[in-house]
Chains A and B, each alone.
Chain A
Amino acid sequence: MLRHNKVDLALHILRADPLDAAVPSRPLLLLHGLGDRSPDSVPHWVAAWPGPVAALDFTGHGESTVPAGGGYSPETLMADVDQALAQLTDGDPDRSITVLGRGLGAYVALQIAGARASQIHGAILTDGPGLAGGPTGPTSQSVFALDTDGSSPDPYALVELGRDLRPGDYAVSFVNLANAGAPVATPITVASSFRPKWLAAVAEAPGVAESSLTDALAAYA
């Protein structure tokens, strides 16, 4: 478990480097969709990845802490991923990982690719629960309270992370950051069939590739 503020995060190592590996190879980190959780084993669709494979349960999901009172944002989940990044690179800022996000995890993968650009050797954004997110501008959304019992996934996570605002230009600002600091020429690859507005804006931005999941993994391997 990793500690992020008051939350314990479950980081699952689905495939480790061989014990006799001379140098650690670059890990692939899987980020699940909204309301989902990490897989128990390496999924067949990433089996070809040559290095270690890890998966993170976001706050309020899977085996990670379900906090009381809600207050979720994708940016806080990005900080979850930052803790996993530090763990997977042993805190070495010269080491990097590749991230693959499904749905909500794709949006978070984009954010960490911009925020820690020098340590993200490619972010693959693909379909999954919570890909659309909320509106791209202000709305008349009201306020609510839910009955919760601490079970996972947290109902507050399902609602708050399903309606967060995702303006296209905000999403593209993370592309610009990734382009400015990433160790690869095309740090973002869109591999989804569905393109909500924020993702369509990302796909059209300079430095963003579009390909199949298989090709994206091969490109970053």
Chain B
Amino acid sequence: MASTTVVPMVHADDDSGLDENGESPFPDARRPDRAYDLPAHGVRIAVHEWGNADAPPLMMMHGGFDFARTFDGFAPKLADAGWRVVSWDQRGHGNSEHAPLYSWDGDMRDTLAVFDHVAGGRPIPVVGHSKGGALMTQLADAQPHRFRCLVNMDGIPYKRNIPDLAEHERTTMLAKDLAGWLDHRGRTATASRKPGTLDELARRRGRMNPRLPHGWLRRLVTTGGFESDDGWRWKIDPALRFGGFGPWRPEWMLMRLPGLPMPFLGILGAEMEEMGWGTPPHKVLPYMPMDGRCEVLDGVGHFVHIEQPDLVSGLVLDFVGAPA
């Protein structure tokens, strides 16, 4: 059982208490040492780095609807161990450009641009959370020469069956999903994120991340949002939306795992929650690669690195070895 981190709670509905950078402080959270834009085949990608610029690089990819600054607590722990931790905002997220199109292939291509910029053709350690873990798993299968090792933090999908659902009910569900998605697409040309106070946005995010402390969610608002005349808004492109549909099947990702040739560490949070992938460990453990293993953290949710930064950074540092 992992230990519990005690953090201060903030309930006041105000924007006070921000630091000199206009960010809400949180214990051990640290803004990046460097931030810059990278042109990625036509899309501007915002890159954030922690640690010595001359240190060996380690790439870290965030999940969907997150952004690189969600590593403010976790990345410094690896940087302080001697790594140059490089993360980036996926297209449409954080400070990166709101792109006309979004797709898995597009994200993969942006990722290659960061690899090419950072790694200099050498294999490097890679850490990915949630969607970032799943995407890096596919990239590791497609281009293993880029990976010294791979850490997948709660981003291992598995096949979800709903065996007691009749076909006509599935059709009804899909019809609603499609109509809702098309209606959303019809509004995206003029849509903007809903404004609110700093604490309102933090509480909204808290509904999706119920296990994360309010103080951390406030920091997310001030690093992943912006303040305008009518309040705070998330920076993420309003065109992006939870849910979705398509031909992709979770098991197609899972079947790539056994063949990965590089050392692999999976870290699963055992607590199920809204944004989690609901991956039961016994479903994925049989798929571990020859040089792979999986750590299951009891009492920890989807955001393993935020809930347990010391424990998870310790696992990762032990796995990747000394900076080199």
A interface with B by C-beta (< 8 Å): 3-7, 59, 65, 67-73, 75-76, 78-79, 82-83, 86, 114-117, 137-138, 140-146, 148, 160, 164-167, 170, 173, 176-177, 180-181
Contacts and interface: CB of A to CB of B under 8 A. Distances in A.
A59 to B, nearest CB: 7
A143 to B, nearest CB: 4
B182 A79 contact: yes
Interface stretch (B94-102, B265-273, B310-318): B94-102
Interface residues of B, number: 47
A196 B98 CA distance: 35
Nearest to A86: B186
A83 B186 contact: yes
B167 to A, nearest CB: 7
A132 B239 CA distance: 29
Contacts of B100: 5-7, 59, 65, 67-69, 71
Interface stretch (B196-204, B241-249, B298-306): B241-249
A69 B101 contact: yes
B113 A75 contact: no
Contact of B41 (A4, A72, A146): A146
Interface stretch (B67-75, B172-180, B211-219): B172-180
A176 B246 CA distance: 15
A142 B142 contact: yes
Contacts of A76: 101, 103
B252 A137 contact: yes
Q: Is the interface of A mostly helix, strand, loop or mixed?
A: loop
B112 A145 contact: yes
Contacts of A116: 179, 182
Nearest to B108: A143
Contacts of B168: 180
Nearest to A133: B247
A160 B103 contact: yes
Contact of B239 (A5, A67, A148): A5
Residue of A69, A137, A140, A166 with highest tally of chain B CB at under 10 A: A69
Given A4-B185, A115-B178, 17 more contacts: A6-B99, A7-B100, A68-B100, A69-B43, A69-B101, A71-B91, A71-B99, A75-B245, A117-B175, A138-B256, A142-B142, A143-B111, A143-B143, A144-B109, A145-B112, A164-B247, A166-B247
A167 B247 CA distance: 7
B27 interface: no
B142 A141 contact: yes
B186 A69 contact: no
